[in-house]
Structure formats: structure tokens, C-alpha cells
């Protein structure tokens, strides 16, 4: 047996997963509250103690970790045009596992700079202009950033004609110059910027978040947690080394503060007479809804759908729903623990979080008329033919109503423009191992895939 330990330092929980590489099997999982405010080692020790009670004492051959502790990787991005270079910068950041706190377009104003000063991002991605195109905007923005009293790493991934000049303007800052995220009009090149974001995470953010001591105990902190999940879902979909994956899919991860959605699908227009508008969507895509979550962002669900809709889904009165929403927003660590009212409310919240996040992740289509007659204009990914939904996150894996929740990820006649899946089989990550398997795939991809296929079970169908 060759045991490997995989650690996820989350904002709320530190999760540990033990696997046997030789046996290609899961040995056990456990979690404990993350203790980032004190010493993050304490939370890890607590989780390992719980794991040892399940598995017995194990001497691990290797230990790897990912992290989203203390809010994860907070990024601000700036591009020239909202629909083009700013959107390309956004896609690069999300795909690298970042949490975007603000997107700016055109020239940064004094108000923008003051907002950035207060936000204190971990990284700033400065884009703008295709290669050989506009240089004025990105140069102006580099000068505007230079006026900030506090410095942070800046990734320059815009017009290559201006990149070196921007680097000189920001002399004394940590500056990283990458290839342009949109070198030509409508062409994405986001991987170099994504790799640089992850590299900065490894060398700077780990120390800033207080995980330095933990890093000495393990083989390496490899990536941000969302990036690990993204690698896992791509592996699960595509397979590797002759081991087949399960095919195109979307994954929904509903958390206390955010709801993440991942898709592994082509997303190109599927219907006839359809033209595509905007940047081409990545085959492997992640979005994160920072205003939609089960506890910290519970009021984002309320703002999106209203108390009446939450009440209807939960079966509780509007007054009682309002009371409980307020309570959970204040006591963010409260779990249902078998209380029928809280279980009913959590079902409604998880369903609506899923609906909102998948709707935002999926593309849209609208009818218009041209000289040749009716045509459809598509923006974003067409996910209507995706037939598999993978659910993860505490509120989705600890309920028996997963299929009912998954229905809210599907196409609805009430939103005819949304390109969500028509119907799908539902897979549930009940062992909560996606992030761990993304980590494992860096070194043992085939083993990670086989374990996922054993542990992530098809739970039924959503129609």
C-alpha cells in the first residue's frame, strides 16, 4: 500500500482525504474547522485526528494540499472593452481558481483607484488591447495603479506593444508580463495568465494567508482549491491513459459564501440558423457567484428570488421563512441537524442557488430577423445537450433530495432564452473528494480518475 494524504484548507473547513495509490482506492475522509485566525496547523491536526480514528495510524508516503482559506485568491481585473479584453481577463482569472472582486473596463478613474485601495486585492490582472492595437488605455491604467500606496502583484497580459512600458511604469512592484489574453480580436489565449496566477498563489499567497507552517509538513501546496476542482471535473469528463471519462458534464458546488459552476462541454451553437456573439467560450469553464451562498450570502438568494419564492419551495410561511433567513445569515455555522424547518429551508436555498448559478453560467439565445429571415443569436455556452450533472458541496451531498435540487439546473420554459441542459443524470460527490482528486491528478491522474468513478455515484435523473 502506498498511502497519500490530500489536504484542502478551506475558508470554513479543513478537509483531509487519504488514498491508497497501489490499491486505487479511498481510505477515508475527515474535516475540522479551519483555524486560520489562530494557527492553521490546529485545524489540520484536528482533521487528521478525526481521520486517524477512521483509518488507524498511517505513515503517508506523500502529502499534497490546496487552499481557499481566508477568502481564497482575491483578484481584480481590468481590460479595455467589457465584452472583449475585460471578459478575457475575467475568464483567465476564474479558470485559475480566483475569486474576482471587481472588473474594470476602459481607463481607471480616481474613484476606481480608491476602490482598489480599499479592496486590497491579492493580485491585479492588467489587460487591454489586442497586439498592435490600442496602447493608450493599458498605459494609463498602469500609471493609475502606480499611485496606490500599497503594492500587490500585477500581471500584465495585454497589448504586447505596451507590456514592457507598463512594466517600467510599475518599477518596484512585483510585475509579471504574460502573453496577451486576447492577442487578436475574438481570440482567447488565457492559459499563460492562468499559469502565472497559480504560480503567484504558490509563492506569495500561501505565506500571506498564514499557511507557511503547514507547507513545511507536506510535499507541496499545489493550487487554489477551485483550480483543483476544475482539474478533477475535466479529468472525470474526459478520462486519461486509456481510462474513459463519463463525458460532457456540468458540476455545481454550492457553498456557504459562493456557488461555483464548472462545465466541460463544447458549448457551440447546436441549432440551425444560429450565429454566435461575443468571445468563444472555454471548453472547460468555471464561474463563481460571490453573492449566492447558503449562509454568508444567503441574502443574495433572497435578493435574487424574493422571500415568496423561497417560502413556496420550502413549504414554510413567508413570515417564518423571513425569520429563518435572517437567523442563518447571522449564525453562519448553523446546520439543519435534523430540524425539519431548517432542512426544508436548506432544500429551497440549495435549489435556488443552483438555479441562479447555472443560469448565469450557461449561455442565452434570442430570436432576431435578418434579410434571410429568422435567425438566432447565441451568447455564451449552449449546454442544452449536456446530459450529466455532478453535485458537490455540503448542502448538496448531505441531502436525500439531490435529484429535486438538480432539476433547478435544467432548462425551464419560464426562462426560454437560457441554454441550460434539457435533462440529465445526476452524480453526487458524497465523499466530497473532487478537490482532493484534482490534487492527486497532478501526480497520479489515472488513479484519481478510477477513484472518482468508484466514489462519485449516479444518484438518479433530473427531468
Return the CATH number of 73-204, one of 3.30.450.20, 3.40.50.300, 3.40.50.2300, 3.40.50.10490.
3.40.50.2300
Is residue 222 pLDDT above 90, yes or no?
no
User: Are 232 and 133 in contact, with CB atoms under 8 Å apart?
Assistant: no
Among the listed residues 52, 51, 32, the one whose alpha carbon sits nearest the alpha carbon of residue 42? 32
**Per-residue model confidence (pLDDT) at position 198:** 83
Is residue 292 pLDDT above 70, yes or no?
yes
Within 8 A by CB and 6+ apart from 459, the residues are: 391, 402, 403, 426, 427, 428
Residue range 441-463, pLDDT digits in tens:
999 999 999 999 999 989 888 76
**Per-residue model confidence (pLDDT) at position 428:** 96
Is residue 385 pLDDT above 80, yes or no?
yes
To which residue does cell 425539519 refer?
340
Is residue 35 pLDDT above 70, yes or no?
no
Is residue 352 pLDDT above 70, yes or no?
yes
Q: What is each CA distance from 112 to 95, 104, 105, 319, 462, in whole angstroms?
A: 24, 8, 10, 40, 44
**Per-residue model confidence (pLDDT) at position 429:** 95
To which residue does cell 463563481 refer?
288
∠ Cα 444 91 208 (to 5°) = 70
- Mean pLDDT of all residues in 41-66: 89
- Mean pLDDT of all residues in 356-374: 89
Ramachandran area for residue 337 (φ above 0: left; ψ -120 to 50: alpha; else beta):
left
Q: Which of the residue ranges 94-98, 132-136, 272-276, 398-402 would you say has the lowest mean pLDDT?
A: 94-98
H/E run at residue 388: strand 388-392
To which residue does cell 472588473 refer?
103
- Mean pLDDT of all residues in 81-93: 84
Q: Which has more confidence, 162 or 10?
A: 162
Calpha distance 49→53 (Å, rounded)? 6
**Per-residue model confidence (pLDDT) at position 38:** 56
Q: Where in the chain is the domain with CATH 3.40.50.2300?
A: 73-204
Calpha distance 162→85 (Å, rounded)? 15
**Per-residue model confidence (pLDDT) at position 204:** 65
- Mean pLDDT of all residues in 39-49: 81
Calpha distance 181→333 (Å, rounded)? 39
**Per-residue model confidence (pLDDT) at position 320:** 96
Q: In terms of C-beta density within 10 A (0-12 exposed, 13-18 middle, 19 or more buried), how is residue 37 classed?
A: exposed
- Number of neighbours of residue 45 by Cβ within 10 angstroms: 15
- Mean pLDDT of all residues in 155-168: 94
Pairing status of strand 13-20 against strand 3-9? antiparallel
Is residue 188 pLDDT above 60, yes or no?
yes
pLDDT band of residue 205 (cuts 50, 70, 90) is low
Among the listed residues 270, 244, 276, 217, the one whose alpha carbon sits nearest the alpha carbon of residue 40? 217
pLDDT band of residue 130 (cuts 50, 70, 90) is very high
Calpha distance 189→182 (Å, rounded)? 6
∠ Cα 82 86 87 (to 5°) = 85
Q: Where in the chain is the domain with CATH 3.30.420.40?
A: 3-70+209-218
DSSP state of 281: P
Is residue 389 pLDDT above 60, yes or no?
yes
Q: In terms of C-beta density within 10 A (0-12 exposed, 13-18 middle, 19 or more buried), how is residue 139 classed?
A: buried
3-70+209-218 belongs to which CATH class? alpha beta
Residue range 94-113, pLDDT digits in tens:
877 777 889 999 999 999 99
pLDDT band of residue 71 (cuts 50, 70, 90) is low
Amino acid at each position: 500500500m502506498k498511502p497519500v494524504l490530500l489536504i484542502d484548507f478551506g475558508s470554513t473547513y479543513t478537509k483531509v482525504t487519504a488514498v491508497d495509490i497501489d490499491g486505487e482506492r479511498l481510505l477515508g475522509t475527515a474535516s475540522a474547522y479551519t483555524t486560520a485566525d489562530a494557527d492553521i496547523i490546529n485545524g489540520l491536526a484536528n482533521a487528521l485526528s478525526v481521520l486517524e480514528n477512521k483509518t488507524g495510524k498511517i505513515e503517508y508516503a506523500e502529502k499534497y494540499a490546496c487552499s481557499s482559506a481566508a477568502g481564497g485568491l482575491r483578484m481584480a481585473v481590468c481590460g479595455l472593452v467589457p465584452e472583449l479584453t475585460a471578459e478575457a481577463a475575467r475568464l483567465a482569472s476564474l479558470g485559475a481558481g480566483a475569486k474576482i472582486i471587481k472588473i474594470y473596463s476602459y481607463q481607471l478613474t480616481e474613484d476606481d483607484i480608491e476602490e482598489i485601495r480599499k479592496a486590497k486585492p491579492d493580485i491585479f490582472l492588467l489587460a487591454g488591447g489586442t497586439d498592435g492595437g490600442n496602447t493608450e488605455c493599458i498605459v494609463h491604467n498602469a500609471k493609475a495603479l502606480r499611485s496606490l500606496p500599497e503594492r500587490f502583484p500585477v500581471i500584465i497580459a495585454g497589448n504586447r506593444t505596451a507590456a514592457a512600458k507598463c512594466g517600467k511604469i510599475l518599477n518596484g512592484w512585483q510585475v509579471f508580463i504574460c502573453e496577451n489574453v486576447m492577442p487578436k480580436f475574438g481570440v482567447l489565449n488565457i492559459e499563460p495568465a492562468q499559469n502565472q496566477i497559480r504560480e503567484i498563489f504558490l509563492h506569495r499567497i500561501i505565506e500571506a494567508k498564514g499557511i507557511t507552517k503547514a507547507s513545511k509538513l507536506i510535499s507541496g501546496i499545489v493550487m487554489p482549491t477551485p483550480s483543483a476542482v476544475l482539474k478533477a471535473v475535466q479529468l472525470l469528463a474526459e478520462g486519461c491513459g486509456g481510462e474513459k471519462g463519463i463525458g460532457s458534464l456540468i458540476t455545481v458546488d454550492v457553498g456557504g459564501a459562493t456557488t461555483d459552476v464548472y462545465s466541460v462541454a463544447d458549448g457551440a451553437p447546436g441549432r440551425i440558423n444560429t450565429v454566435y456573439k461575443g468571445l468563444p467560450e472555454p471548453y472547460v469553464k468555471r464561474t463563481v457567484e460571490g453573492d449566492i451562498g447558503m449562509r454568508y450570502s444567503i441574502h443574495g438568494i433572497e435578493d435574487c428570488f424574493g422571500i415568496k419564492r423561497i417560502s413556496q419551495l420550502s413549504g414554510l410561511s413567508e413570515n417564518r421563512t423571513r425569520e429563518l433567513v435572517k437567523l442563518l445569515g447571522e449564525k453562519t455555522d448553523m446546520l439543519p441537524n435534523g430540524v425539519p424547518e431548517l432542512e426544508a429551508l436548506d432544500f429551497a436555498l440549495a435549489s435556488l442557488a443552483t438555479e441562479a448559478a447555472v443560469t448565469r453560467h450557461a449561455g442565452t439565445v434570442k430570436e432576431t430577423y435578418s434579410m434571410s429571415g429568422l435567425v438566432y443569436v447565441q451568447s455564451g455556452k449552449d449546454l442544452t445537450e449536456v446530459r450529466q450533472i455532478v453535485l458537490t458541496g455540503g448542502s448538496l451531498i448531505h441531502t436525500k433530495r439531490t435529484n429535486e435540487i438538480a432539476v433547478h439546473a435544467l432548462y425551464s420554459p419560464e426562462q426560454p432564452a437560457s441554454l441550460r441542459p434539457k435533462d440529465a443524470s445526476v452524480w453526487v460527490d458524497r465523499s466530497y473528494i473532487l478537490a482532493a482528486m484534482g490534487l492527486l491528478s497532478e501526480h497520479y491522474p489515472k488513479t484519481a480518475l478510477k477513484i472518482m468513478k468508484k466514489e462519485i455515484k449516479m444518484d438518479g435523473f433530473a427531468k
